[in-house]
Structure 1
Amino acid sequence: MRVNMVRASHFSKVLVLFGLGALLALQPQGATWAADGYIQTAKYIFFFIGDGMGIPQRAAASAYTGKPLTVDTFPAQGVTTTAAFDRFITGSAAAATAMASGIKTKIGYVGLDPQLRPVKTVAEMAKGQGKKVGVISSVSIDHATPAAFYAHVPSRSMYHEIGMALVKSGFDFFGGGGFKDPEGKKSKAPQGNVLKAARAAGYTLVNNKQDFMALKRSPGLKVIAVNPWLQDSAALPYHIDRRPQDISLSEFTEKAVELLDNPQGFFLMVEGGKIDWACHANDAVSAIQDTLAFDEAVQVALRFYEKHPRETLIVVTGDHECGGLTLGFAGTKYETEFNMLKHQDTSFKKFSAEVLKKFRQKCGADCSFEKIKPVITAHFGLKFTGDPQSDPLVVKPYQEALLRQAFERSMAGERIHSDDPGTYLLYGSYDPLTVTITHVLNNNAGLAWTSFKHTGVPVTTSAIGVGAELFNGYFDNTDLAKKVMSVMGLSPQVVYMADAA
């Protein structure tokens, strides 16, 4: 809203307008949108969500490569607040529900308002307009963020019910990770097998790269495509661990565009979910690599936009920051050495689950810290001889002491619990040695962490295409859904399922 103070002819009118302007200035907002939709509608809408991708994650990835990310070059750049209805530091379910429907909700709720009333999502609205709809995630496809675009349940942990909601959605393309509870083993009211239900509903199921790449657009085709290797919790492997036979996030995106393109247009949500998981574990390199993989998926959308610039909108945002990543560390003062991060060749997950497991099996009863040193050097580049002053890869005496202590805990199979404050602050709930290694490497490079959980700092939203200017400025995550609705030619408001029926 813009107020032209010059035209105010009366002092009282000036005061009223000034008061309104001051009130609006206190509210998060970007460009305004029309009550009944934006002046122009987008035929194709890409909605990218980097889970856990705050401002520092984007900045770290850019510093790592030495060049801006694709999203950094978009003409519209905004700052987005993320608080949930009942907690300042949000969770993925509440955040995704806000971004998908425009409603603040409670932690853990998916597609429901705080009173448990189902709210319609922008993906469901797009389907109602006759568009084809796709949902992609690098974590399980029934996880909180993707679920918020098609499911309506009171708990994000209701994976079986979410999987069944996926089938019932009728959306045209699902890709990425698998299902966490397809048979309903953890459900109080199992509804059968999700995969069997999907086949019965006409979905084509694919779980290898060869068949996936061979998919061709055809009338009525509906696809659920799952990567052949699900590394942890039915999710894709971290990008740093990806094999040639794995399907990357950008390949999922490219195939989705190919299959969804049609005269009525499409809506495609793509989540980079493992950015968040890497940040929970304080593994900067894995988070950076997954941020870059996410940015490559954005590049696919940008290439499509360049062919359809007057019909396409691309929005890229994060649901929250994770880990409290900082670009700067007290131990290095003003110095940074991000190139040393490139010595890491494996994620924290693969190192703890595979490398350490093999190490224990090989060394048996004689697992000494001296024997693990070359293993650490091989996978992370850290050195144990030399001058720390001239070579930042050389661990300092106090860091070696921390690594020795963590090694003893790991070899003893010690589990760290959050009710033990002293050890939790050091290791979170992760393998002590692995998280200490990433801390030392990150710190020596000039990065640090404040948490093993989410934080409440705002995130960056970037946009290009039809209505992109709406995403400039400072606004709440609920406004993301309303701005997208506006560009879809819809009234930017929360729609309840009962009202829409």
Structure 2
Amino acid sequence: MKRLLYALLFVMVSVVANGQAKYVFYFIGDGMGVNQVNGTEMYNAEVQNGRIGIEPLTFAQFPVATVAATFSATNSVTDSAAGGTALATGSKTYNGAISVDQSKNPIVTIAEKAKRSGKKVGVTTSVSVDHATPASFYAHQPDRNMYYEIALDLPKANFDFYAGSGFLKPTTTFDKKEAPSIYPVFDKAGYTVARGYNDYKAKSSTAEKMILIQEEGAASDCLPYAIDRKEGDLTLAQITESAVDFLTKGKNKGFFLMVEGGKIDWACHGNDAATVFNEVNDMDQAVKVAYEFYKKHPKETLIVITADHETGGIVLGTGKYELNLKALQYQKHSADGLSNRISELRKSKGNKVTWEEMKTFLSEEMGFWSKLPISWEQERRLHDEFDKSFVKNKVVFAESMYSKSEPIAACAKEVINEIAWLVGLAADTPEAMSRYLPLAQVLNSSARRLTIRKLPNA
């Protein structure tokens, strides 16, 4: 794996520094393993075309592909910090490290090398700008949870464009002390902060450096899941469009742009298959922005798609030679979104919800009974959770790494996964259940020069 990462980073550094590619896109699907990609393509085929097979994602059609093992320097199961550091620097490190080695010394990242070579640089994500994967490209900290300290590294890197949902700890240090807000620090360093896509368009022409985050009042930890998105919500595709627009204005010496589909991982932690497939499709929409740019600059553009690890151990088919992925189309919201709506129903009814009202609600939200027949055993499980939550008032929220869910929402998610024959989804895990994932899928006009093979014992 170490040699393979070095091979990938050597190729990317050489095309950045030696002018083989003027424009470099580096997409990272956090938690996106082989089955997340394959499952999305089969889901698309069933839902979009009503057929068995695959409807290829844009990036899955790129001409060069390989796989790699993802263990970190200290654990067979990597986390996003060690994985992000490996992808940003070509070096393995301990879990939790942000572009520092095992002795906690900074490691130069490919983004920093691109900046030094005269290119403009962008770091973007669908989660917070100070989260592990984006941080690994611009920050150097011994612990991924040092959000305030990571944010202070942002202006030190002096990159041109950052984007994501916001910042997790803008006024609180790692040791939980109140500190000056990071936003005046950004302002002093020459960054214009745009809140939302429209604000970006209003400010971008006069800004020298830009930080694009969500509008005031929106969550700072992440963009909404694609399945929950409302009109006006900031999207990863819009972020990618904005980054390309900003990085190509003025003197154009080329750019290096990292784009993370960060909530694939979050949905996998929650074992929420419908949401996972929608998130992979959503990242593919961002890849399409890069592909359209490639078509205008085919001899100067390199696009790399990769992942840092696989999350959730998603299993396609359990017990039978059968899949029913089209069933997932009837899930209208993420498990988190469904949980919020159940909480709203609980509040609106003063916790006096009947089983018939809950059945109507689940029929509308998940397609149960109206679109999807469910077994007696599945209905009994739903009713038992309803009885505990609404009759006996014993509400025990189901927890995963990034969310807490109403018990009925968690149960409904499990039932629809069973109907789709995805019941093999693992219980919430720290990270990867699979050792292998796509290291890179590459699109470049000189693909023969970029062919990377999986090395023995990598």
Q: Same fold judged by TM-score > 0.5?
A: yes
Give the one of 217, 231, 234 matched to 1:244: 231
- 357-366 or 264-273: which moved more? 357-366
Give the one of 419, 433, 436 matched to 1:444: 419
Q: Which residue of 1 aligns with 2:184?
A: 196
Equivalent-residue separation in structure 2 for 1:408 and 1:325 (angstroms): 30
The alignment partner of 2:137 has SS state of coil
Equivalent-residue separation in structure 2 for 1:34 and 1:313 (angstroms): 11
Q: Does 1:258 align with 2:245?
A: yes
Q: Does 1:378 align with 2:364?
A: yes
The aligned runs of 1:293-372 (5 Å cut-off) are: 293-330=282-319, 333-353=320-340, 355-372=341-358
Q: Which residue of 1 aligns with 2:52?
A: none
The aligned runs of 1:5-44 (5 Å cut-off) are: 37=14, 41-44=20-23
The aligned runs of 1:48-87 (5 Å cut-off) are: 48-66=27-45, 67-87=55-75
Q: Which residue of 1 aligns with 2:51?
A: none
Equivalent-residue separation in structure 2 for 1:225 and 1:36 (angstroms): 26
Q: Which residue of 2 aligns with 1:176?
A: 164
The alignment partner of 1:314 has SS state of strand
Corresponding pairs, count: 435
Normalised to the residue count of structure 1, the TM-score between the two structures is 0.80
Larger gyration radius, structure 1 or structure 2? 1
- 366-375 or 118-127: which moved more? 366-375
Q: Which residue of 1 aligns with 2:117?
A: 129
The alignment partner of 1:447 has SS state of coil
- Please report how far the alpha carbon of residue 138 of structure 1 lies from its aligned counterpart in structure 2 after TM superposition: 0.5
Equivalent-residue separation in structure 1 for 2:184 and 2:157 (angstroms): 15
Give the one of 100, 113, 130 matched to 2:101: 113
Residue type matched to 2:247 in 1?
L
> What whole-Å deviation, never above 9, does each CA across 1:363-391 have from its counterpart, x for those lacking one?
3243343321111111111117xxxxxx7
Equivalent-residue separation in structure 2 for 1:31 and 1:206 (angstroms): 37
- Point out which structure has higher relative CO (alpha carbons under 8 A, 6+ apart): 1
**Distance change (3 Å), C-alpha of 1:55 and 1:92:** same
The alignment partner of 2:124 has SS state of strand
Q: Which residue of 2 aligns with 1:474?
A: 454
Is the CA contact 1:94–1:109 (under 8 Å) kept in the aligned structure 2? yes
Is the CA contact 1:231–1:237 (under 8 Å) kept in the aligned structure 2? no
Equivalent-residue separation in structure 1 for 2:408 and 2:11 (angstroms): 54
**Distance change (3 Å), C-alpha of 1:133 and 1:40:** closer
**Distance change (3 Å), C-alpha of 1:29 and 1:267:** closer
The alignment partner of 1:297 has SS state of helix
The aligned runs of 1:273-284 (5 Å cut-off) are: 273-284=262-273
- Please report how far the alpha carbon of residue 231 of structure 1 lies from its aligned counterpart in structure 2 after TM superposition: 6.2
Equivalent-residue separation in structure 1 for 2:347 and 2:385 (angstroms): 19
Q: Which residue of 2 aligns with 1:205?
A: 193
- Please report how far the alpha carbon of residue 188 of structure 1 lies from its aligned counterpart in structure 2 after TM superposition: 4.9
**Distance change (3 Å), C-alpha of 1:52 and 1:361:** same
Give the one of 420, 434, 444 matched to 2:409: 434
Is the CA contact 1:29–1:474 (under 8 Å) kept in the aligned structure 2? no
- Please report how far the alpha carbon of residue 125 of structure 1 lies from its aligned counterpart in structure 2 after TM superposition: 0.7
Equivalent-residue separation in structure 2 for 1:263 and 1:432 (angstroms): 53
Q: Which residue of 2 aligns with 1:397?
A: 376
Equivalent-residue separation in structure 2 for 1:413 and 1:34 (angstroms): 53
- Please report how far the alpha carbon of residue 402 of structure 1 lies from its aligned counterpart in structure 2 after TM superposition: 2.0
**Distance change (3 Å), C-alpha of 1:326 and 1:429:** same
Normalised to the residue count of structure 2, the TM-score between the two structures is 0.88
The alignment partner of 2:268 has SS state of helix
Equivalent-residue separation in structure 1 for 2:79 and 2:124 (angstroms): 19
Is the CA contact 2:5–2:91 (under 8 Å) kept in the aligned structure 1? no
**Distance change (3 Å), C-alpha of 1:113 and 1:410:** farther
- Please report how far the alpha carbon of residue 232 of structure 1 lies from its aligned counterpart in structure 2 after TM superposition: 5.2
Alpha carbon RMSD of aligned pairs, Å? 2.9
Is the CA contact 1:124–1:149 (under 8 Å) kept in the aligned structure 2? yes
The aligned runs of 1:82-97 (5 Å cut-off) are: 82-97=70-85
- Please report how far the alpha carbon of residue 405 of structure 1 lies from its aligned counterpart in structure 2 after TM superposition: 3.0
> What whole-Å deviation, never above 9, does each CA across 1:174-229 have from its counterpart, x for those lacking one?
112100000126545665211111111111111133222334445x6111111227
Q: Which residue of 1 aligns with 2:49?
A: none
**Distance change (3 Å), C-alpha of 1:375 and 1:65:** same
**Distance change (3 Å), C-alpha of 1:468 and 1:153:** farther
